[in-house]
């Protein structure tokens, strides 16, 4: 990892499958319908200039831009503890923090699926894009997040293009199906109940196709259940008769957006009486969890949650280790490229402002000298202006070279830029306000990522 400061006002704080069990993650998880309000609340904290929120079954991360990272992180710790309904001290062991270059590096690895439970799984990039698009729509994104996320989208595409990490892609949903297959030695003559009709449920249902199982789909919204059942050749079961659906099923894949468990211990106990000893396997891939932990205490019922599936996913990780190592090298290259471009954005406006100031001074002095020269014509005027400009450019050459070389220095560059600004009384924009396109790279045709990086408006963009 590149262990140098980058002068980037980016920070992140969060929890993931690596640092917190699902019991902690589900208390911080934000369901889609609450995401806009949550992002706006984060951006409304006094020290936060920009904010984006990534909430998946395996991680909850806040990405923010702030000129005062220490104060911002203190506010975010308090906010997250309040959201989790616990104290800062209790939550602290599960939190990780990244600032500046480390934050960029982490975001790039997340988008490239190198920090996922299943390395190479394809869903995380879409989730990262959704998090950024939400920030843009809520006007909580600005130049820092725009540049950082645009870089993350580019690195994710490059990793998939240049490595085999995403070959035969797997996901938590497909790992869940593998788990169930091993428990029942296949799916022939088995009934699988899909509870929910969102993305994860859809992936699980697709993974089941062609394995010989009868698939039931139930969801609070009957229309969405019908759409999913039609896509995968399943049968809709009314959500109002969830108990009846559980009585029919051998395997249940639960993935809804409910804030509280919908498969409670009391419900499963009632179902147990109707099943007459038949084994029931509940696979919970939702965060917050859909299956109440007490269900595992019911006879003939086995429960696997997202953390259990993580252990099985380690097998997939071992098989992709070589490709993951190649991807890590690419991430390091892209972080270096990002830093060079980001730091370079500070230098360009300064040089332009310096050249403009010096040339204006030189031309102004030449004009004043000409005004005092009786009989000077156009020829003399052009010659005097040309001489003044030539001298100014020669004088500028050395400082420009020094600024280009030193201004991008990760340690002393900011100080050099500040000194030049003060000496020549230069007004230049905050480097963070430079166009995102400078470091976003060229987007793939139709990808929309470059456009997303440039869609900066509203409060955050103006801060």
Per-residue CA distances from 69 to 47, 64, 105, 139, 173 (Å):
8, 9, 17, 21, 37
Q: Which of 10, 48, 53, 57 is catalytic?
A: 57
Find, among 70, 72, 65, 64, the residue nearest to 47 by Cα: 72
Q: Is 382 exposed, middle or buried (0-12, 13-18, 19+ CB in 10 A)?
A: exposed
**Distance (Å, whole) CA 323 – CA 332:** 15
Residue 57 annotated in active site: yes
Per the listing, tokens 């440039």 go with 454
Catalytic positions, please? 57
């Amino acid at each position: 990892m590149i262990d140098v400061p980058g002068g980037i006002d980016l920070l992140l704080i969060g929890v993931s499958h690596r640092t917190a069990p699902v019991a902690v993650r589900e208390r911080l998880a934000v369901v889609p319908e609450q995401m806009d309000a949550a992002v706006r609340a984060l951006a409304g904290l006094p020290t936060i200039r920009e904010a984006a929120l990534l909430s998946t079954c395996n991680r909850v991360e806040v990405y923010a831009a702030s000129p005062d990272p220490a104060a911002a992180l203190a506010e975010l710790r308090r906010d997250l503890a309040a959201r989790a309904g616990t104290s800062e001290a209790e939550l602290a062991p599960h939190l990780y923090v990244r600032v500046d270059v480390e934050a960029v590096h982490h975001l790039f690895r997340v988008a490239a699926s190198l920090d996922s439970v299943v390395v190479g799984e394809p869903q995380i990039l879409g989730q990262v894009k959704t998090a950024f698009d939400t920030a843009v729509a809520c006007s909580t994104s600005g130049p820092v997040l725009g540049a950082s996320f645009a870089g993350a989208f580019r690195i994710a595409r490059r990793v998939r293009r240049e490595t085999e990490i995403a070959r035969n892609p797997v996901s938590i949903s497909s790992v869940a199906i593998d788990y169930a297959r091993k428990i029942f030695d296949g799916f022939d003559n088995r009934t699988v109940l899909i509870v929910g009709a969102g993305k994860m449920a859809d992936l699980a249902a697709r993974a089941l196709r062609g394995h010989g199982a009868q698939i039931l789909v139930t969801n609070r919204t009957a229309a969405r259940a019908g759409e999913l059942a039609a896509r995968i050749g399943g049968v809709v079961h009314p959500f109002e008769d969830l108990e009846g659906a559980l009585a029919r099923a051998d395997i249940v894949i639960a993935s809804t957006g409910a804030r509280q468990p919908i498969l409670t211990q009391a419900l499963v106990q009632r179902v147990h009486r109707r099943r007459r000893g038949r084994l029931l396997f509940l696979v919970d891939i939702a965060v917050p969890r859909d299956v109440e932990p007490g269900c595992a205490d019911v006879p003939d019922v086995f429960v696997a949650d997202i953390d259990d599936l993580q252990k099985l996913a380690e097998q997939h990780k071992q098989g992709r280790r070589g490709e993951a190592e190649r991807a890590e090298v690419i991430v390091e290259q892209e972080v270096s490229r990002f830093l060079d471009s980001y730091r370079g954005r500070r230098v360009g406006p300064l040089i332009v402002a310096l050249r403009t100031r010096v040339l204006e001074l030189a031309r102004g002095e030449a004009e004043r000298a000409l005004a005092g020269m009786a009989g000077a014509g156009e020829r003399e005027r052009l010659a005097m202006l040309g001489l003044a400009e030539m001298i100014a450019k020669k004088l500028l050459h050395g400082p420009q070279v020094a600024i280009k070389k030193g201004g991008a220095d990760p340690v002393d560059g900011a100080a050099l830029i500040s000194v030049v600004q003060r000496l020549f009384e230069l007004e230049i924009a905050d480097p963070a306000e430079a166009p995102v396109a400078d470091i976003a790279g060229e987007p793939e045709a139709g990808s929309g990522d470059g456009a997303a990086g440039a869609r900066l408006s509203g409060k955050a963009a103006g801060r």
